[in-house]
Structure 1
Amino acid sequence: MYTILRSVLLVLSLTSCTSYKYATEGNTQKSNLTMGTVKSKVIKGQTTQDEIMKLFGSPNLVSKNKLNKEVWSYNRMSVENKAGSTDFFAGQRASQSSSSKSFDLIITFDEHDVVADYSVVSTAY
């Protein structure tokens, strides 16, 4: 009986190790909002608002700057949680960690709805 109980506990402790990813909106679909896409497709003085909309979809935020130029902001954030194993004999959870990544794209348009400037901020913590 003791051997069976020990085997069950061992199996449970080994299967409790998990790793999962989620996006802030619950959507794990691959996004076009990447540094590669921005560098290859967004061209100052050429790319239009319509092209930006087709590439990245609707912006997270639309505003105007001091010069009354339209500014679109995009944000993509992902979080990865890694849960450690549980030590059933000690009754404690061992090591648990998480990491976050954020990618922000800010685009300023001119009076003709063409990209005047853009900036990218990418962080990982």
Structure 2
Amino acid sequence: MYKILLSGLFVLSLTSCNSYKYATEGSARQSNLTMYVVKSQLIKGTTTQDELLKLFGSPNLVSKNKSNNEVWSYNKMSTENKAGSTDFFTGQRASQSSSSKSFDLIITFDGHDVITDYSVVSTAY
């Protein structure tokens, strides 16, 4: 009986130290939206809207700039939460932390649906 109780406490102490990750809605599937893909696949004056749709799918936002050119925006966010350990004797949770990353791609097209310019903003906090 003592060995079973001791084994149970050991397993419980191991599981209380786990960390976990979760993705925000929309980023659960694997995304091609990375700096590498942007730099290697997007060519100003060459890449078209159709090629971009095949590469990244539909944009998060479509708008027009002052010159009446179409502007597409893509955004990818991810969040990671790390749970702290739980003190077995007091039942209180120790420190807990989280971090977030955001990747934004903004693309401007000409009147023939070809990329004229793009910019990337990547943040981690």
Give TM-score scaled by structure 2 length.
0.90
Q: Pairwise mapping of residues 24-35 of structure 1 onto structure 2 (< 5 A)?
A: 24-25=24-25, 27-35=27-35
Asked whether the equivalents of residues 75 and 102 of structure 1 are also in contact (C-alpha less than 8 Å), the reply is: yes
Give the residue type in structure 1 aligned to 2:84: G
SS of residue in 1 equivalent to 2:111: coil
Q: Pairwise mapping of residues 5-16 of structure 1 onto structure 2 (< 5 A)?
A: 5=5, 7-16=7-16
Q: Counterpart in 1 of 2:66?
A: 66
Task: Find the aligned partners of 1:51 and 1:76 in 2 and give their Cα distance.
Answer: 19
Q: Counterpart in 1 of 2:55?
A: 55
Q: Counterpart in 2 of 1:104?
A: 104
Aligned length: 125
Task: Find the aligned partners of 1:22 and 1:46 in 2 and give their Cα distance.
Answer: 37
Q: CA deviation at 1:53?
A: 0.4
Q: Pairwise mapping of residues 86-105 of structure 1 onto structure 2 (< 5 A)?
A: 86-105=86-105
Q: CA deviation at 1:21?
A: 2.3
CA deviation map 1:4-53 (0-9, x unaligned):
54553342122122222222216433210000000000000000000000
Q: CA deviation at 1:2?
A: 6.9
Runs of 4+ more than 3 Å apart? 1-7
Identity of aligned residues (%): 81
Give the residue type in structure 2 aligned to 1:109: F
Asked whether the equivalents of residues 21 and 78 of structure 1 are also in contact (C-alpha less than 8 Å), the reply is: no
Q: For structure 1, which segment, 104-113 or 27-36, has the greater mean C-alpha deviation from structure 2 after superposition?
A: 27-36
Task: Find the aligned partners of 2:2 and 2:116 in 1 and give their Cα distance.
Answer: 72
Asked whether the equivalents of residues 99 and 124 of structure 2 are also in contact (C-alpha less than 8 Å), the reply is: yes
Give the residue type in structure 2 aligned to 1:117: D
Q: For structure 1, which segment, 115-124 or 15-24, has the greater mean C-alpha deviation from structure 2 after superposition?
A: 15-24
Task: Find the aligned partners of 1:80 and 1:26 in 2 and give their Cα distance.
Answer: 15
Task: Find the aligned partners of 2:84 and 2:124 in 1 and give their Cα distance.
Answer: 21
Task: Find the aligned partners of 2:114 and 2:89 in 1 and give their Cα distance.
Answer: 64
